[in-house]
Amino acid sequence: MAIFNGKKYNETEIGFGSKNYRDSVRFFNSDGSVNVWRTGLGKLNNIDIYHWLIKISLKNFIFLVITFYAIINIFFASIYFLLGANQFGGITSVSALDQYLDLIYFSSQTITTVGYGHVYPMGHIASIIASIQSLLGLLIFAIITGVLFGRFSRPKDTLLYSNHILIAPYRQIKGLMFRVANKKQFELIENEAKVVMTTKNPENNKREFYTLNLEIDRVNFLALSWTIVHPIDDKSPLFGLSIDELNKRDVEIIILIKGVNDTFSSSVYSRHSYKSSQFKENVRFIPLKQDVDNRGKVVVSVNDIHLHETV
């Protein structure tokens, strides 16, 4: 039990401890990643190539694969070129550049085990190096296939959060509210939300966490959008606090949402956070416009979840 703003509340521990910090701190980045960097076991402990390959963008992953493929072929083609073109049959080019290009093509055929046969090794050394390259190619492409499977099979967070979190009129009081929507066309079912507020307690200079009660903490379908509301009544730790006071207390609202992707029947976890600088007061969300197309489908623009108006 913690005393905050002169009242007693049940304190929540979500894994960040109660240590306070001199500067403003954000526990979750806006993309949902945890804003913690672990040290103490050396730089090698921080190297996790598989996790990094799974998390980087698809564009960067494709660029990395193409770059690696080009470098390894240039590397082996250089070795073959140093051995001499006379160690390979089928090379009829006279200039050194054309011979080198022929060996690059031979390298790409060897590493992929295509083996067109136009160029082939004749000496033992060239054959041994080509055998090593073909074995290396099998291992590399097996790893790339595994990473690709991991990337495509990993449940992805497809939730879009409103840019701001609002303190808006709610029934006869005020409510803390934000909106979420599914960016993709597949369905998310059995969605559950948990909202936690972390704040610096000025009375004991301690960082504390409080679970905020929600109007609705579960929806079966996230077909349109979901406005998640915390009523700011006399039982709320936000009761009576202005935005300036929230800034002074370095308030952060942490959102944890769990759903099920009905295509893969796999759980999807989404995290997001709002800092006090993203709060807006005396505004309310504009209801999403819903239309029906010529196929009878309800059409909504998910980008409209950001729209709000002054009360």
Residue 40 lies in a domain: no
In a domain, 234, yes or no: yes
Same domain, 226 and 195: yes
> What is the per-residue pLDDT for 8?
57
Q: Say whether pLDDT at 46 is over 60.
A: yes
User: Does 39 reside within a domain?
Assistant: no
| Calpha distance 165→50 (Å, rounded) | 35
Q: Which of 120, 137, 153 is the last residue of a domain?
A: 153
> Do 276 and 240 lie in a common domain?
yes
Between CA 54 and CA 65 the distance in angstroms is: 13
Do 166 and 22 share a structural domain? Answer: yes
Q: Is residue 88 part of a domain?
A: yes
- 57 and 173 in one domain? no
Q: Which domain holds residue 136?
A: 46-153
* 256/170 same-domain check: yes
Please check the confidence at residue 72 and state whether its pLDDT lies above 70. Answer: yes
For Cα atoms 66, 70, 73, give the angle at the middle one, nearest 5 degrees: 140
pLDDT recorded at residue 179: 94
Q: Look up the CATH number of the domain holding residue 209.
A: 2.60.40.1400
Do 130 and 164 share a domain, yes or no?
A: no
Residue 23 is predicted with a pLDDT of 66
What is the pLDDT, as a whole number, of residue 10? 61
Mean pLDDT of all residues in 2-15: 62
Considering 126, 153, 180, which residue would you say is the last residue of a domain? 153
Q: Mean pLDDT, to the nearest integer, of 182-198?
A: 89
- Most confident of the following: 49-58, 189-198, 297-306: 189-198
Residues 6+ apart with CB under 8 A from 288: 224, 225, 300, 301, 304, 305
Q: Looking at the structure, do residues 170 and 288 belong to the same domain, yes or no?
A: yes
Which helix (DSSP H) or strand (DSSP E) does residue 174 occupy? Answer: strand 173-182
Distance of alpha carbon 200 from alpha carbon 279, whole angstroms:
17
Domain identity same for 165 and 224: yes
My answer on whether 168 and 302 are in the same domain is yes
Residue 41 inside a domain? The answer is no
**pLDDT of 5 over the 70 cut:** no
Contact criterion met (CB below 8 Å) for 246 and 5 = no
pLDDT averaged over every residue in the chain: 85
Instruction: Identify the CA nearest to 90 among candidates 130, 122, 123, 120.
Output: 120
| More confident call, 61 vs 262 | 61
Of 153, 175, 192, the position where a domain reaches its end is 153
pTM for this prediction: 0.73
User: For the chain, what is the domain count?
Assistant: 2
Helical (H) or strand (E) element with 102: helix 96-111
| 186, 142: one domain | no
- Indicate whether 192 and 239 sit together in one domain: yes
Residues 206 and 241 in one domain: yes
Q: The CATH number of the domain where 94 resides is what?
A: 1.10.287.70
